Amino acid sequence: MPKTALATRIASLKDQYKTYMQEPVLANNTCAPLCFEEMVSLTAMISYVAHLTGRSEYRIERILSDRFSVPNPKCLTQSQYDDAIRFMADQVPLEAKNA
């Protein structure tokens, strides 16, 4: 990927993040960002899946981000947290689940 295309992609992701962070937080926290404990748990799950599958953590983060249409896992909302953990659990290889 040429540097100009990469720079354009990065600028686009930054704009998406800025737009996302400016959305109003609803009363039931459906748009609230993840709290520290949720972010730690999700990061641990990403590391665990990366270790078991032999992929990089970055690749697992990209898979998760693509699934939830966010620039990166830090942009997930509290309402998406349970689904994100379930999705990551589904990524664990069957051999590890049966061990």
Q: pTM value?
A: 0.65
Task: Report which of residues 59 and 97 the model is more confident about.
Answer: 59
pLDDT given for residue 83 in this prediction: 94
pLDDT given for residue 26 in this prediction: 46
Ranges of each domain in the chain: 25-98
pLDDT mean over 15-20? 66
> pLDDT per residue over 38-90, tens digit each?
888 999 999 999 999 999 999 999 999 999 999 988 889 888 999 999 999 99
CB neighbours of 65 closer than 8 A, spacing ≥ 6? Answer: 71, 72, 73, 75
